[in-house]
């Protein structure tokens, strides 16, 4: 059912206000629809460009005194239309502009098309209508991610896990056929591990070499694809005759790689939508997120299951340590105007420290977290936390909202296993240094400029399911920076039971404005390790540093 709110705009100054008003009305009347801040921001940019186009090129304010149209919600699609009475144009014939030069021609339409899943412009004698549509991932996608995490951990066989993934994907995307192909080292090819709507003979016979056809291409290059037409696909992928049309090769289709820490494992294919609708960019993004989450949980479960079969507890713990370490970043992103580095010195027993850099240009997220406990469950919880954090940063940009969603999602497991998670999440706008941080029971950051941020650390995750978190805003000026750390850095004790302490950590930041973050982080951790005087390391030590140059 379509809900549409009409608008009239009499001047450029009214555009933002009217957009915000109408979006709020839609959200209030449809509380179950999830509209992230990123979605709203993107749609607003497209809306402003469309109205500006009607005013500047169609002269709508001069001829009609206002620009009119509607902002609408139809199922899981949000969009708007803009009416004008100008000469009209063909949207397909608008050239791609030279973005290195600031010229009006084509820039606005190009931007609108980049931000929308469907953009049309229809001309008639009476009027012209530009229609913009964007498909929403929605809460169903998030529910599927949570459900997969829970189901995978508790299933005993790979076949059960693959069936769960396909069943949930078919339900969410409304497709008739789907398949999961896993690479077989002995066969040196992808083999169909699970399928829906595909003949058993075809399933058993299907073997796809790396780089062959669509599935082989996605597996080899690690790149998700949306194919609308097999015969004229842009990648020029060859349709292999031995696949048979009854398998997974019909179009339109979406195909996403299954991989762990950049290592390819297989692919998942979805095709033949029951409702006849085309797949969208949002569908591809959601399938990729689901694939990453499912494979991360599956991989950690498999390694831990193998570890538990070992006779020696020492070997088991070492396996889990390797798992845990494989999910930490190997190197920071290279960002012009910034220097950053991080390191985790892992305890002899299994710890639960985690840190990461998540770069969604122009925003850089820094995160440090600590999962309670020193066992295999801590490692599983850490990986689950990581996967869901990455999913939420794709759907939501506000740090407090991300932590609120994470706590709600993780609460049942944390409560069941008597665990908790502390976390500090910082979002930095790399263009101007403005930052927003939110804290769930973690140590606040330290600043090179010695500025002090007064903030409530909030509760750790796992205490209250409905806990909400707050944001603190600030500014990193050039030459300033911050240090994030876990409790192992400041609560480490020597043989005399003396704490290393925050003040000692602060002292290592003095007069270090010209020192590389890598050197600062290594020096801090080395100082903590030396302070312990060779005593057994019982807790992880994690430190992350960033500077604005």
Per residue in 137-184, pLDDT (tens digit) is 554 555 566 556 666 666 657 777 788 788 878 878 888 889 999 999
What is each CA distance from 260 to 267, 291, 344, 354, 392, in whole angstroms? 12, 10, 20, 17, 19
Q: CATH 3.30.565.10 residue ranges in the chain?
A: 2-135
Residue 353: CA atoms inside 13 Å, Cβ hemisphere, count? Answer: 25
Residues of the chain with pLDDT > 70: what percent?
Answer: 81
* 3-class secondary-structure state, position 58: coil
- Summarize pLDDT for 28-81 with one digit per residue, the tens: 888 666 566 667 877 998 899 899 889 988 999 999 999 999 999 998 789 999
- Confidence grade of residue 312 (pLDDT, cut at 50, 70, 90): very low
3-state helix, strand, coil in the chain (%, to 5): 40, 25, 35
Compute the average pLDDT of residues 213-240: 70
Residue 101 pLDDT > 50 = no
pLDDT at 239: 46
- Per-residue pLDDT for 230 more than 80? no
Class of domain 138-298: alpha beta
Confidence of residue 321 (pLDDT cuts 50, 70, 90): low
Q: Between residues 100 and 463, which one has the greater pLDDT?
A: 463
Residue 458 contacts residue 441 (beta carbons within 8 Å): yes
Lookup result for tokens 């949930």: 168
CA 170, CA 214: separation in Å to the nearest integer?
20
Considering the four listed CATH numbers 3.40.50.2020, 3.60.40.10, 3.30.1360.10, 3.30.70.20, the one that applies to the domain covering 328-548 is: 3.60.40.10
d(CA 516, CA 448): 13
What is the pLDDT at residue 99?
Answer: 42
Q: Which of 86-95, 260-269, 296-305 comes out lowest in average pLDDT?
A: 296-305
- The percentage of the chain sitting over the pLDDT mark of 90, rounded to a whole number, equals 41
Q: What is the pLDDT of residue 302?
A: 62
Please tell me the predicted confidence (pLDDT) of residue 142: 59
Rounded Cα–Cα distance for residues 62 and 336 (Å): 45
Lowest mean pLDDT among 219-228, 273-282, 444-453: 273-282
91 C-beta neighbours (distance < 10 Å), count: 15
Residues forming CATH 3.30.450.40 domain(s) in the chain = 138-298
User: What pTM, to 2 d.p., does this model score?
Assistant: 0.51
pLDDT band at 496 (very low <50, low <70, confident <90, very high): confident
Average pLDDT, the chain: 83
* Residue scoring higher pLDDT (295 or 303): 295
Structure confidence at residue 13 (pLDDT): 84
Model confidence at 299: pLDDT above 70: no
Residue of higher predicted confidence among 301 and 392: 392
475: number of Cβ within 10 Å: 12
Most confident among 246-250, 332-336, 384-388, 536-540 (mean pLDDT): 332-336
Among 432, 416, 360, smallest CA distance to 392 is for 360
* pLDDT tens sequence across 180-201: 999 998 899 999 988 988 888 8
pLDDT computed for residue 310 by the predictor: 46
261 falls in which pLDDT band (50, 70, 90)? low
**Which residue did the predictor score with more confidence, 92 or 64?**
64
Find out whether 227 and 275 touch, Cβ atoms under 8 Å: no
Q: What is the pLDDT of residue 8?
A: 95
Report the helix count and the strand count for the chain, using DSSP H and E: 15, 20
Q: 2-135 architecture in CATH?
A: 2-Layer Sandwich (3.30)
Task: Provide mean pLDDT across the span 445-466.
Answer: 84
Looking at residue 543, what is its pLDDT?
Answer: 98
**pLDDT surpassing 60 at residue 276:** yes
Q: What is the pLDDT of residue 36?
A: 62
> What digits encode the pLDDT tens for the residues 367-423?
999 998 777 778 778 888 988 898 888 888 999 999 999 999 899 889 988 899 999
The yes-or-no verdict on residue 236 having pLDDT over 50 is no
Which residues make beta-bridge pairs with 79?
72, 133
pLDDT category at 202 given cuts 50, 70, 90 is confident
Half-sphere exposure of 481 (CA within 13 A, CB side): 27
User: What residues does CATH 3.60.40.10 cover in the chain?
Assistant: 328-548
**pLDDT at residue 272 above 90?**
no
């Amino acid at each position: 059912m379509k809900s549409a709110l009409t608008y009239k705009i009499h001047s450029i100054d009214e555009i933002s206000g009217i957009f915000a008003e109408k979006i709020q009305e839609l959200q209030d009347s449809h509380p179950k629809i999830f509209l992230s801040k990123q979605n709203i921001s993107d749609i607003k940019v497209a809306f402003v460009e469309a109205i500006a186009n009607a005013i500047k090129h169609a002269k709508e304010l001069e001829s009609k005194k206002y620009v009119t149209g509607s902002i609408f919600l139809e199922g899981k699609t949000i969009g708007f239309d803009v009416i004008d009475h100008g000469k009209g144009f063909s949207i397909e014939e608008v050239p791609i502009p030279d973005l290195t030069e600031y010229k009006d021609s084509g820039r606005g339409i190009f931007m609108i098309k980049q931000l929308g899943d469907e953009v049309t412009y229809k001309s008639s004698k009476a009027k012209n209508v530009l229609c913009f549509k964007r498909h929403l991932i929605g809460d169903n996608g998030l529910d599927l991610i949570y459900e997969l995490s829970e189901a995978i951990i508790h299933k005993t066989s790979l076949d059960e896990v693959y069936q769960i993934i396909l069943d949930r994907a078919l339900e969410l995307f409304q497709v008739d056929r789907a398949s999961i192909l896993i690479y077989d080292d002995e066969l040196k090819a992808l083999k169909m591990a699970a399928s829906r709507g595909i003949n058993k003979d075809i399933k058993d016979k299907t073997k796809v070499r790396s780089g062959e056809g669509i599935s082989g291409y996605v597996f080899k290059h690690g790149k998700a694809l949306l194919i609308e037409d097999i015969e004229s696909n842009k990648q020029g992928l060859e349709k292999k005759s031995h696949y048979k049309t009854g398998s997974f090769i019909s179009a339109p289709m979406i195909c996403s790689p299954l991989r762990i820490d950049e290592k390819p494992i297989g692919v998942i294919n979805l095709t033949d939508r029951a409702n006849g609708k085309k797949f969208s960019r949002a569908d591809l993004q959601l399938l990729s997120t689901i694939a990453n989450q499912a494979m991360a949980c599956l991989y950690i479960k498999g390694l831990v299951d193998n570890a538990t079969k070992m006779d020696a507890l020492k070997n088991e713990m070492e396996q889990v340590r390797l798992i845990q370490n494989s999910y930490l970043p190997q190197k920071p992103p290279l960002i012009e105007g910034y220097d950053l580095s991080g390191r985790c010195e892992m305890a002899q027993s299994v710890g639960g420290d985690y840190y990461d850099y998540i770069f969604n240009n122009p925003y850089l997220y820094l995160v440090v977290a600590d999962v309670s406990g020193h066992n295999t469950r801590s490692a599983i919880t850490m990986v689950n936390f990581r996967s869901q954090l990455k999913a939420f940063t794709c759907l939501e940009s506000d740090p407090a909202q991300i932590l609120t969603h994470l706590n709600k999602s993780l609460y049942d497991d944390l409560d069941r296993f008597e665990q908790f998670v502390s976390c500090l999440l910082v979002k930095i706008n790399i263009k101007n240094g403005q930052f927003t941080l939110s804290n769930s029971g973690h140590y606040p950051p330290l600043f090179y400029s010695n500025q002090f941020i007064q903030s409530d650390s909030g509760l750790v995750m796992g205490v209250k399911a409905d806990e909400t978190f707050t944001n603190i805003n600030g500014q990193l000026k050039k030459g300033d920076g911050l240090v994030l750390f876990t409790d192992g850095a400041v609560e480490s004790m020597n043989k005399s039971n003396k704490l290393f302490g925050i003040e000692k950590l602060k002292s290592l930041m003095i007069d270090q404005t010209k020192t590389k973050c890598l050197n600062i982080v290594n020096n801090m951790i080395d100082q903590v390790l030396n302070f312990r005087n060779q005593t057994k390391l019982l807790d992880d030590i994690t430190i992350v540093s960033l500077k604005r140059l």
